[in-house]
Amino acid sequence: MREQAARDMAALAEEIRAHDVRYYQQDAPTIDDATYDALRLRLLALEKEFPELVRPDSPTQTVGAAPAEGFKKIRHSQPMLSLDNAFSEEDVRDFDQRIRKFLQLGAADELYYICEQKIDGVSFSARYEHGQLVQGLTRGDGEVGEDITENLKTILPLTLRASPPLLEVRGEVYMKKQDFLTLNESRLAVGAPLFANPRNAAAGSLRQLDVSVTAQRGLSYFVYSWAQLSEDVETHNSDMKFMLALHDMGLTTFVTRDAGAARHYQWTASLDVLLAYYQEMQAQRALMDHDIDGMVYKVDRLDWRERLGFKARSPRWAIAHKFPAEQAVTVVEAIEIQVGRTGTLTPVARLAPINVGGVVVSNATLHNEDEIARKDVRVGDTVIIQRAGDVIPQVVGVVSGASGAMRAEPYAFPTHCPVCDAQAVREEGEVARRCTGGLTCAAQRMERLKHFASRNAMNIDGLGDKQIEAFYQEGLISSPADIYTLQARDGEGLSRLKNREGWGEKSASNLFAAIETSREVALARFIFALGIRHIGEETGKLLAKHFGTFEQLQAAVLDAHARETLLAIDGIGATVAQALIQFFSEPHNQQLLATLMDVLRVQPYSAPALANTVVAGKTVVFTGTLDRIGRNEAKALAETLGAKVASSVSKKTDYVIAGADAGSKLKTAVELGVTVLTETEWLTLIGHAHA
């Protein structure tokens, strides 16, 4: 059961990551919100049932995708995270209970929330210094965004009233329904491609290199939070009150002093009132001048927010309550198979184009063969589809009798790869069927090359998907190492490329310069670039942080005690450990790595400057029940102080914090001579005054 869950989680994670890139990086999603949310819910359910299998690179622990090309990249002052989702009243009440448990509040303790509309636009961060707009960034991958300062200057106020010396706000750029229709009408008149929906139109407009285009697109914005603020600025310990202060400075917020305006927010300590407001907004959404796909609930007290802190991809103090999906009916014209980077065969339904909520959709993922069989989807069937404000629908089910008596034969999922004809195998208990062709399969080899050169990996500018496909098909590159010999094999490096269609001397020179730049790569990026199954960006960072150098990582994984070493790392489970051991033990991969190490300079992990605390850089383990603060809060607090939180005790552990009913970890610590502290001793050590 556990091994099956691990395989299911890995397959879901792979699919979700691919959709994250299409949505956040390319502004070209291939599934709708409902389909995406369903994938995340399935993954979250498995992670809840098997918490020990949750990996740091899980899509539930990460946010966004790498910044797109064309703009300067700047690191956010504070990470820009996403929100967890609620889909039912029960989910919202569970969210409330989690917060109360974390803060150790009783049922009678008042817990105020502020509720706002969830507009699906493009997130931004804007920095004001002494009231002047000086910088604007997109979300990017949550840590690094694109510099869109000049574009934001056409949308946001350039100067604020009575602004503090430093103010960095977070918000959303979006397009109103009428502005979207007007834009598409103008594009239709000149034969330009139409935007699929307001969100894509807003994203495309905000990322224009020509600022004048952005200025003409009729974009709107609102501010929903802040990231940095000058010291000694009065916030009244309330999100609502400070958002009102931002409104008074001249920023557009949902909180307003205009009593005659329609209610755009709710402030209450009653979940019943909050949920009633949700129902009210759901009923009014079609009448609004902009699209919303749910409501956002945020804890109002700022000191409680600080205690609650953040998870890997989202704050603990906020959640998005999504609206139900919209539905329509159309016909399945074909079912096709796509082969992914790791060989996964994914079925895609090609649909007769249908307008759903103002968006024309024509295809949808069918996830896997089990989903096709469970819903009995066949070519020619009339099906119910649904969407929740995005591009491509989810197939809910077949309309009984609508397809006629002469239905097509049940869809036979292929047992051989449609690209290389190698056998496609489905391991016992796994939802995905995979091609066994490996590097001999053109789909996988090419996709692995694309992954290697991608922005989040080696980040080779100018070597995008189209270039890799062309170079691969012509035999110029077939493995990652070939990229770094391309110039040498081309004489002076220009003769072959500069005469290609769409190329010239400058573009060829730029590509070779980008390849040369990529020879020096951060360890975490290199680990991720290798395309090891189950190893995403966050796991790459975790491994880089733990081992420091690639040589130490490789030696540890090839060691006889590799499994024990890997499992001792907090956040590394059995599936990831096994994937690493298998990859590094494979002779072909060893040869590839040796070749790459000859042409690359993989930089050792460089730890960020740690806070000057007594526990910075120390490894700590928590065990037993903590009384004064919750265990999750204790771990989060330790990490903010620069400590490394581990899941098991070893000789390298510096402190074990033992609460009530501590078990085997305490025993191990005593046997190894590790310093054991009570909860009170730990809080005294770190100077934490919370009681």
CA distances in angstroms from 91 to 62, 195, 336, 555, listed in the order given: 21, 34, 36, 45
658 strand-pairing partners = 623, 678
- Is the separation of the CB atoms in 59 and 16 below 8 Å? yes
CA distances in angstroms from 324 to 42, 321, 383, 396, listed in the order given: 17, 10, 18, 13
Query: How buried is residue 344: exposed, middle or buried, by Cβ count under 10 Å (0-12/13-18/19+)?
Result: buried
Nearest to 172 by CA among 127, 216, 224: 224
164-200 CB burial, b ≥16 within 10 A, e <16: bebbbbbbbbbbbeebbeebbeeeeeeeeeebbbbbb
DSSP secondary structure string for all residues of 77-140: SS-----EEE-SHHHHHHHHHHHHHHHT--TTS---EEEEEEE-SEEEEEEEETTEEEEEEE-T
Instruction: Please state whether beta strands 345-356 and 292-299 pair in parallel, antiparallel, or not at all (unpaired).
Output: unpaired
d(CA 574, CA 13) in angstroms, rounded, equals 16
| Look-up of token digits 């208990």 | 429
DSSP secondary structure string for all residues of 584-630: HH-HHHHHHHHHHHHH-EEEPP-PPPPPS-TTTT-EEEEESB-SSS-
Sign of the CA dihedral 529, 535, 540, 545?
Answer: negative
Structure-token pair, residue 67: 């910044």
What's the one-letter identity of residue 462? G
Structure-token pair, residue 453: 């050169």
Nearest to 317 by CA among 60, 55, 95, 486: 95
> Which residues are catalytic, by number?
118
- Is the separation of the CB atoms in 84 and 320 below 8 Å? yes
- Is the separation of the CB atoms in 676 and 669 below 8 Å? yes
The phi and psi torsions of 281 (rounded to 5 degrees) equal -70, -35
d(CA 50, CA 619) in angstroms, rounded, equals 25
